[in-house]
Structures are given as structure tokens and as C-alpha cells.
Structure 1
Amino acid sequence: MDLFEDEAPKGGDNAHEFSVSEISGAVKKTVEGAFGHVRVRGELGRVTHHRSGHVYLDLKDERASLSGVIWRGSASKMETRPEEGMEVIATGRLTTFQGQSKYQMVIESLVPAGAGALMAMLEKRRKMLEGEGLFDPARKRPIPWLPEVIGVVTSPTGAVIRDILHRLRDRFPRKVLVWPVAVQGPNCAPDVTRAIRGFNALSVGGALPRPDLIIVARGGGSIEDLWGFNEESVVRAAAESAIPLISAVGHETDTTLIDHASDRRAPTPTAAAEIAVPVRAELAADIAQMGARLGQLQRYAMDRRGERLRDLSRGLPRSDALLQGPRQRLDDLDRRLPGALRAAIAAKRLALSEHPLRPALAAVPVARARDRVERAAATLPGAFRGGIAQRRLALSQHSLRPAGLSERLRQERRHAERVAGRLTPELVTDRLRRLSERLAALDRLRETLSHRATLERGFAVVRAGGTVVTDRASAAAAAELEIEFKDGRLTVGQGGGGSEPPAAPAPKAPRRKPASKPEQPDLF
């Protein structure tokens, strides 16, 4: 046996060789041909929402798992948002992903597998949001007693908005802002979310008033019809609203997640309007009743105080009794007054007789005053001379000494040199140029305002006796008229008048040329 002899070919070694791409394409055609349109029921496992808009998920049961993808166009049209744990029925087609040698389902529609699945998903979402504290009663705000502006989030064409407006008009008319939204279908949740946040974004005192209360309303329907109000975005917007919110979705037996997040739930949209505002007639009746009660209480209080005053007045003594004692003391003092006056006069007379006004007593003050006058007269000449000496000394200190005059002259000379230094030829020339331009402008203005410019345009000046004539009656009464044209004057008499040769036009005043060196230019 030759060890280097080639081994004989085995059976099947002559089969066709496929490339990886060829075998993947063949499998893809087989799978898509056999499962072009399928409906699969299962539970959603992993759900991934890609930033591109595509949704990747897994459909599974107790024994197997199937990968699925929802392209962005189909995902945006789906009424139900896929969530992990939902039991759904997916409709689409099977295909393969050649890059990973795996098959998957391209889902075109996705619906919950019955009401039981929806309720299970709803309960799961409710527990999640409740765990975050969005349904906590401590977060709820009180409803304003009488709001000025009410914002209503609902469909503008349904019966709900008509019922709300009618009920508000019957109870207490208020300003209403309607934010139109879709209340059913895939656009319901985004529209309601934008409406709630849009009302909260309005500024106080702006062109569009900010509501004091928001009502989210919709009529009754099935759980599928009301599903938009169970979406997480709507619940979070209601919980975050700084404006108190009333939810009125469905009938009394219908419950959605927005009812738990709102500040107040109304069983119907009409009941929401009744919660929003009181009845004006009832308020007027209550005010009238309270006014009547207030009047009664005031009268009762006045009666009680009057009775109390009368009781206290009976305990006071009479005015006559109060005045008897003072009146008696006054009479006693009146009787004692003459004797007291006589005794006082006698006492003063006695004191005066003991200390008579003798001339010796008056001479002492006079002598003291005379001494003070003599001392002042003796010191007056010396004080006068001292004052003159002080004034003479002050005047000598401020006398005009030659040294002071020289210093003053030097200061004046320096000042004159500084002024002369500023008087440069350029400054003088510029000042003269400005004066010349001003004179030329004034001359042009004089020529513009002169009547001779008007004569150049074909007008004439009529005079009678040296006075300008401006009306026909004055011209007819004049014996002779003088008409001035642009090239001279013409005299016209009443009977045809004589005329004089045209006078030479008045010479124009020559323009004044600016002097090159004015004697005293105004430089400052």
C-alpha cells in the first residue's frame, strides 16, 4: 500500500457548494413564502423603543420565544402602546435577519388579547404610578370656589362641550377656554397631554387668560375607547398640573387612571360643571338671608345694649344729689369771702407800716447805678483808642506794598501770554471763515425772501400813493396807480393814464465779502 496515494472520494463530496449569503437568501425566501401573513398570540417580553422610532420586542409563551420588530410607520399608527407583560395578538409576516442568522416577525398591528389583558395591564400601570406617589391625596389641590376662567379639554364637536357650557350658563356664567383634542384613538393621549401642559404654560395677565380651573371631559364608552386617558403621559400631566383639575371621563361607572391623578373626579361632564361653579340664584338667596340675619342680630344687640344701659343708669345717683354738696360749699365760701378780703388788706397794711419807703433806702440803689456809669465812662476813651489801633494794625498788614504789586503784574502778564498763545492764526482764520459762511447764508436768505424773486416769476406789485394795493376797490378809488414789474415801474392814470419809461431795475445789494482781518473778531 502506497502511503502517499490520494484517498478515494467519499459519497456526497460532489454536492453543490453554497455561499453563506446564498444559503441565507434561500432560507429567507422559504420562510417569507411559507409565512407571508400570520397572526401570533403571546405575551410581550422584552420591549425596546429605539430612538429611531422602531420598536423591538419578544413574543413568548411557556415553551418558546419569537423576536419581533415594529417599524416606525406602523408603531406611530398603533392605538395600543406595547408594554412588557401584555398579552397581545400580533399580525404581520415572518422574515429572517441575515446579519445574525435568526428569524423574526415584522409586526404590522398589535391589539390586546381581550379585555382581560387590558385590565391586567391597566392594574399593573396603576400600581406603578401609585408607587410613585402620583395618586397621593396629600398632593391634591382644593377646587377654587368661584373661578374666573375655566379651561375645558375635550372635543369641540361633541355633546360634552355643549352640556358643560349649558350647565355653566344656568348656574353661574364664567369665561370658558376650550382646547380641542381627540378623545379617542392614537392621537388622544398626546393631544390631552399637550392641552393640560399648554394651559399650565399660559402666563398670568397675558393676552390669553390663564385658567383658574381645568376640566378634562369625555362621554362614555368602552375600555378601548377610553384607553387614551389611561396612558402614562396623560396621568403624569394631570398630576404635575399647577392648576386644579377635574376629570370627567366617561359615565359614573367608568374609571380611568386620570381620575386617580386629578384633584377631583366628576361622574359625568355635567357634574363637573356643577362642581366647578355654584348656583348664582342660591348665592343671591344665601346673601339675602345672611343680610336679613345680620340686620336681626344688629337690632337684637342694640336692644340688649339699651337694656343694659338702662339698668346701669338706675344704679347711678340723681344729678341733684350730686350737686348738693358742691352747691353748699360754694355758698359757704361766698359768705366767708368779704371777711377774708378785709383780713388780707389789714395784714398787708401792717407789713407796709413796718417797712416804710424812706429816702435813705432809695438813695442806695441810685448810688450803685451812678458808680457803674462812671466806671464805664472812664474806660470808654481807652477802649476807643484800642479799637483804632487794632484797625490800623490790620490795615498796615494788608497795605499795597511794591512787592505785592510786582507779583500781581507777573500773574497778569502770564495770563495775557496764555491767552495770546491760544490766539493762533489757524483759530483766527477758522473763525473768519465761519463768519463769512454765515454772512453768505443770510444774504441768500434775504434774496429768497425779497419780493423781487416773485417779480421774476411774472407777478407785479401795484401801489397807490406809495401804498401797496391789495384789492380791486382800493385800485378803482385811486387817481393814479404805479405798477412795478421785474424790469421797472409803470404809472397808470384813471383815464388811461400816462406812463413813464421803465426804470432801471433796482440794483441788488452787493454781497458782502468777508474781511480778511477784522478789527475785533468775536473769537470766544
Structure 2
Amino acid sequence: MADRIKPSEPADPVAADTDWTAVEDLWGPISSALQETSPPVSSVIPPGVRVWRVSELARQIDDLLRGQFPAVWVRGEVSNRRIYNDWVFFTIKDEQAQLDAVIFDRARVGIVPEDGQVYVFFGTVTFYSSEKRSSCSLRVRTVVPEGAGLLHARYLQLKEKLSAEGLLDEGRKRPLAGWVDTVGVVTSVDGAAVRDILKTLHDQGRTGLVLEGIPPACLTTLADFIRSERLEEGETYLRVVLYHAQVQGDAAPPQLVQGLQTLGRRPDVQVIIVGRGGGSVEDLWAFNDETLARTIRDVSETMGKVVISAVGHEKDETISDLVADVRASTPTQAAQRVLQARRALIEEWRLWSHRLDQAARTALLAKERAYAPWSAVSGRWPVSVERWVDRRTAELADLTIAMVERCRQVLGQAEAALRDLRGRMEPGRLYRLYTERMVDVQRLRERLESSARGAWQAWARALDAVRERLSIRLLERSYEERRRAWADLTDRCDRAAERGWTDGWQVWDHYRTRLLQAGPEAVLARGYSICLTEDGQVVRGVDQLQVGASVRVRLHRGRLTATVTDLTE
């Protein structure tokens, strides 16, 4: 190494006197230490071991996380929430760890988590990497408040199952139309829902009650309510068949199912309302029962009843709401929906009655105008006029009766047309039409796939032919480009190495020259000397010597011994 550093021609006379043997002795341990601290790569990496690129390792980690955790439920407290447009970034944490999370569509998720609150999150674990940083995060799809996470998961699973079976299809549901004179209600007589329903239905007049399955202990409370609201007054226009069932707890679903089946078998009941008032998710959970959902479907399709689900409030949604023919946001609204159907028919009857009355009045006025000229001679022919009036009165009565019969015929034809339309819109017929259309779609899909497959194969063969013609040229062109790139890189490396060696030698020579100029030899060469006592101590002042003492003097070239003859401060 010293041979590489030692210059061929000394830059100055001082360098000619440098002891290069001492320099080599000094550089040897330094060079060995540098080689020990920087071992070659081949001595550290075992043979056959793959060295990953950072991007490859990041992609591999992301693939492993997605495969191991395709969809997970995570409970944690929210902190450091940040909202940018429709994206929400935040941190999920517990007592021992924390995890970054992100919502990319907060409108679809519905719930925006708040700092300091605990939620249950459903999503996918991903690993994100960029030039600046890498991080592991949870991509959230669903947010559920703490306490309702497990129930919400069960709710989503049942909803997806019933939707796949077609229970939630709107096409199979019955419309709330036609005259309703008997309404079935399945709920608890102890709750507020039954009171809201009865009070609302009483707006049309007195509501007659038929009680089913009412415990004796509840009859007194129900009777007191009816008397306090004066629901027993007025003429009876609408009958209500009330079936008592628990609406909360483990015993609620079987009792609700029994109530629906009991009222569904009654031929006088056209509409059945099943529901309860508001409450927590746990309180309303009885209406997310699978057996109850299938019973609602059977009562509607098999027994021909219109089922109205009225559970909780507007924000509450249960499986029974989705399966029922009609969904009402509250029990009060369920009763209002029934009354609206009745009012529509009543208004239609009133319209026809008004038209009949107007027609009768018009006919009567016409007869009066025709009889007016005879009023002057009414005294001369009283008998003939009286007979004429009687005959015209009879004709008017016959005309009125004929118009009423005609109206009845028109209404009968409309009801028959409505029944025929309802028969054609039955779920079974719709299902057959749907099946026939799906068969046609499947045939078209097979034809399209066959055509696409043939076109793809032809295109692939053409592509293979082109690839064969271009492969050799591409290889030659790629080889030539890489050869030129290698030659250019080699030339650049040589120039860089030569430039680095020259710059390094210049720096080395500069600092070596400065070191030599600052050394004692250079000072002696400028005419200075070093004075030593007999015991070898450097003399720095006259106070160290006496007259007659012997001293040794070191010059740039040689040494001498002298005797002190005079001392001067």
C-alpha cells in the first residue's frame, strides 16, 4: 500500500528526507483494521440465499396479509381521526398495541367513528409501501358501535342468506290494496305499540276488538286503556283481532310465529300487523329470527295475507321489515297505512255517489222544465197532469235504479280486473317468467362465450406467429443495446476511478506537505536549533542553566556540545 502512496518524484526537498519506512510501519496496522471492519459480501451471505428487493418484499408481505386475513373483525378505540373529502384516516388501539385504519367511502359505511369511542370494525388487512414509508393498515368496510358487533355480524349473515333465497325480493310481496274490514295485530298488550295502533285505527270510528291469547292479568290493563281513550264509542267500522305475544327475549320468536300462524288461518283477517315499539338492538333482536322471517313469507304467499312489519323507529331495520309485504317505520304508521287503503276505497265510493246524485238532480230539473208549460192549465186537467207526473216520477226512479246497477257493474268489473291482475302478478307466475328469461340469457351467454373463445383463439394464434417472427430480432436488438450500455458503463467506471485516484493523491500530497512543514525538522531547516541539558531536558529559559554548565545543541544537520559563559534575561 505504501508503494501506491509513495510519490515517484518528491514535490519538495522536505519530502526527500521523509522516512518512508516509518510510514509503512504506521499504515500496515491501519490497513489491516480497515479490512477487518469491511469484510467482503461473499463471506457474509451464504450461497444460494435469495436477496430480496424492497418492493418485492413489500408486495410479498401484502399478499401474505391478504391471504391470511381476507376479512376480520377488530375491536378498538379510535384516536387521531382525520377526514379528507370522502376518506377517513384514524388509529385503532387498545392497552397494548395500535393499528392504522382507513375508510375510503364513508357515505357507504354510514358511521364515521369518533375519537375516544370504541367500535367493532370489519375489513381487510393490507400492507402499503412507497418511497417515503411503509405501513400496515386495516381497510374498513363496516363500522359497528361497541356491544352490537356480534349481533350485527349475525344480522348481515342472515340477511345475505335470505336474500340469496329470494325472500327479500320486492316482486313476491303483496300490495296493500282493497277493502280491509278486519286487521290482525301480533304484539304485546303491555307495550305502547298496541295502544298506538288502536288509537290510530279509532280515527275511522269505533274499533271492534277480538282478543286472542291474552293473559287474564293483561285484560284489565287493556280494558282501562280502551275506556280512558273512549275507544268503545261510535259505530263499528273496523274489527281488530289482537293476539298477545312477547316481543323481547328468547320466548318472543316462538310466540310471534304462533300468533302469525293463528291469525293467518282466520278467513276474516285480510291484513296482519306484527311489531313493537322502539328499543336497543338487543331489545329488537327477536324480529331478526330466521323462523319468524320464513313464517312471514308463508303467511303472505300460502295464506294470502298482507303482512305489515312495524318494529321500532325509522332508523331501526330488522329482518322482519325486509321480508314483510309492507314495512312501516312505527306501529302508528302501520295503522295509518291500513286506514289509507280504506280511505282510498271510501273516496271512490263517495265519488260515485256524488255522480249519481248529480245525475238524478239533472234529470229532475229537466222534467221540471218540461212540466212548466202545463202549470197554467193544471186546474183544467188535474187528473191527466197528476198521472203524467206520477209516470215521470216512476221513470226517474227506474233511471236512478238503473244507474246504481250500472255503477255496481262497473265496480264489479274493476274488482274482477284487479283480481285477474293480482293473479297474473303472483310470485309463482313471476318466478316462471324469471326462469324462462334466465334460460334465454344463459343461452345467449353460452353463444357469446363460444364466439369470444373462437375469436380469442384466432387472435392468440396470430399473436404467436408474430411473436415467432419478432423474437430473434428482439433478442439481437436487446443484446446490442445491453452490450453498448455495458461498454458505456465500463468506460464511465474507469474514468471515475482514474479521477478519484488523482483527486485522492492530490489531497494526500497536500496534507502530507502541511504535516511536514509543521514538524520540527522543517523548523530546524529554517535556521532554528534545540538546546538540551546534560540529562536531555529541553531548555526553555536561562533559569534552567548556570555559568559553566555544559549543554547539547541539535541543529538541522548535526549536533554540538557547548559551555555556558554568560546568562542574560
Q: Which has the higher contact order (CA 8 A, sep 6+)?
A: 2
TM-score (norm 1): 0.33
Q: Whose Rg is larger? A: 1
Q: Identify, as 1 or 2, the structure richer in helix.
A: 2
Q: TM-score, normalised by structure 2?
A: 0.31
